[in-house]
Amino acid sequence: MRRYSTRIAAVAMLGCGLHAALPASAQDKNLGAAIAAKGGSGGAAACVSCHGAKGEGMAAAGFPRLAGLHPDYLLAQLDNFASGLRQNPVMAPIARQLTAAERQAVAGYFGGLPPPTPVASGDPNVLKASDRGAWLADRGHWDDNLPACVQCHGPGGAGTGSAFPPLAGQSSAYLASQLHAFKSGARPGGPMSLMSVVAKRMTDADIAAVADHFGAAPADKGKK
Ligand code: HEC
Ligand code: HEC
């Protein structure tokens, strides 16, 4: 829970509005944990059955990691699934079966869990132009007006603040599916449509390369 108290301290220090989605009370936290383990009052399935007992995700099935993502980001995604802005046949009905208070509680719960154990990756200092994925991630491709992913998603793709989720620690299959969803419009691009703009400039080969790159990156590189 160290990450959590650090976050609360930082929020208090900065006096910014991030506290909205943090669990307001122990009761909220219990509610979030109960939904994760057993499902919601309106019939929503238990989150852990797909997202893993610790919110670590299930790479093989393409179910994303939720542990340690910012609670505001998680809540925004649940709201988007519920409203139909973010389309997905599996997740949308589940989000719709949760009340607004349940979505907030469960977002706070998963946001407070520690990120999964890092997976091994190559040496980040060795960057070759021929490694398109690593190059896009760290340098971008200015000829195509494509900024480096780490400019928004933080060093190593570890995620920054409430708007830019981690890419590290997600499976390459999930990352690729989301990039295609941003490109097609099945998923909205977040603040100022930033991510749609980026994804539309990527070729299918770019998507595959960069998804493989981050799909192999450690989850705890850099700090939120
Ligand atoms: C039957 C499997 C299943 C269950 C149960 C399930 N999810 Fe999901 N979840 C998914 C899939 C698949 C996706 C990816 C959707 C997509 O591609 O847009 C997802 C995506 C998400 C995301 C978006 C993550 C991101 O990085 O943007 C959130 C948040 C989420 N689920 C929360 C929950 C919560 C909370 C519960 C429990 C109430 C839950 N899920 C239960 C399958 C499931
Ligand atoms: C200008 C800022 C910006 C840049 C550069 C950027 N992103 Fe994003 N990205 C975002 C934002 C904002 C979101 C959150 C969208 C939302 O709120 O749904 C996001 C979300 C994502 C997601 C969804 C993660 C999840 O958990 O579902 C993926 C995958 C992603 N970005 C991949 C990339 C890749 C790969 C690159 C580099 C080629 C990149 N992004 C560059 C802003 C950016």
Map out the domains of the chain with their CATH numbers.
2-111 (1.10.760.10), 132-215 (1.10.760.10)
For residue 101, the tally of other CB atoms under 10 A from its CB is: 11
| pTM for the model | 0.88
- What is the distance between the alpha carbons of residues 121 and 40, in angstroms, rounded to a whole number? 37
Amino acid at position 184, single letter:
S
Q: What is the distance in A from the centroid of ligand 1 to the CA of 91?
A: 5
Q: Which atom of ligand 1 is nearest to the CA of 39?
A: 38
Q: What is the distance in A from the centroid of ligand 1 to the CA of 141?
A: 31
pLDDT band, very low/low/confident/very high, at 24 (cuts 50, 70, 90): low
In the predicted model, is pLDDT for residue 84 greater than 90? yes
Residue identifier of the C-alpha nearest atom 16 of ligand 2: 190
The Cα angle at residue 185 between residues 173 and 189, in degrees rounded to 5: 80
Q: How many CA atoms lie within 13 Å of 188's alpha carbon, on the beta-carbon side?
A: 15
Distance of CA 43 to the CA centre of its chain: 24
pLDDT band, very low/low/confident/very high, at 152 (cuts 50, 70, 90): very high
- pLDDT per residue over 25-46, tens digit each? 778 889 999 999 999 999 999 9
Using CB distances shorter than 6 Å, the residues near ligand 2 are 64, 76, 136, 147, 149, 151-153, 163-165, 167, 170, 175, 178-179, 189-191, 194-195, 198, 210
Residues 115, 54 contacting (CB under 8 angstroms)? no
Q: What per-residue confidence (pLDDT) applies to 18?
A: 42
Residue identifier of the C-alpha nearest atom 6 of ligand 1: 47
Q: Identify which has the larger pLDDT, 120 or 171.
A: 171
Residues 69, 159 contacting (CB under 8 angstroms)? yes
- pLDDT per residue over 115-133, tens digit each? 886 654 455 566 787 889 9
